[in-house]
Chain A
């Protein structure tokens, strides 16, 4: 089991550009979560999916953020247009039947 795989590990982009973060959950896990971590606010849940369907996106900060899960093995988080305040580490996590979460290694996003 390769765990939850995120790409890229690091992303540096200019303000106004579109950014796409990618996640491959653990096979068989039917829940997928996107979190954001900053020094000021800690870890915040942005959105989660169950069986590829978005269930709760109340944590998505603005319309500039969108997430999709076209199939059970892939999800994307897109920011368009990006702003410096979006700089953070973005984590993807998946959950199986035992209710425990498994996190990916994260994508460190820097918007300059």
Chain B
């Protein structure tokens, strides 16, 4: 059974810093991995999807990597802005269909 862990649970950094959010999963036979953003009281917004054959994906200031052998994924945010403040959720596929979520990292960017 796939289990996903995100560390840290919360992170607060000053504006402009580059930062890394960590995600680990137990089943290395992972299909795909997806990163989401959730603003308070809102739904989930997909940020990046890394398919099993890929090692990383980039979108603007975001870069996500996937290392199946070590059971880890990282989300790198460059030049952080206050608008990046949100909860970031990592989700690994269990089999081809089911997404298993971590508990999230609550990120605060201080102006």
Contact = CB atoms under 8 A, between A and B. Distances in A.
Interface of A: 31, 33, 42-43, 45, 48, 50, 55-56, 91, 93, 95, 98-106, 108
Given A56-B97, A103-B44, 8 more contacts: A42-B101, A43-B91, A48-B97, A56-B98, A91-B43, A93-B99, A95-B97, A106-B42
Contact of A101 (B34, B42, B96): B34
Interface residues of B, number: 24
B89 interface: yes
Interface centre among B31, B51, B99 (most CB of A within 10 A): B99
A111 to B, nearest CB: 18
Interface of B: 31-32, 34, 36, 41-46, 49, 51, 89, 91, 93, 96-104
Interface centre among B31, B97, B102, by most chain A C-beta atoms within 10 angstroms, is B97
Given A99-B32, A104-B43, A43 B49 contact: no
B98 A106 contact: no
Given A43-B89, A91-B44, A100 B101 contact: no
Contact of B104 (A42, A48, A99): A42
The 3 closest A-B pairs by CB, nearest first: A43-B101, A103-B44, A105-B43
A54 to B, nearest CB: 12
A42 B4 CA distance: 11
A105 B45 CA distance: 9
B97 A55 contact: yes
A106 B43 contact: yes
Contacts of A93: 44, 99
A50 B95 CA distance: 14
26 contacts: A31-B97, A33-B99, A42-B101, A43-B89, A43-B91, A48-B97, A48-B98, A56-B97, A91-B43, A91-B44, A93-B44, A98-B49, A99-B32, A99-B49, A99-B96, A100-B34, A100-B46, A101-B34, A101-B46, A103-B43, A103-B45, A104-B43, A105-B43, A106-B42, A106-B43, A108-B41
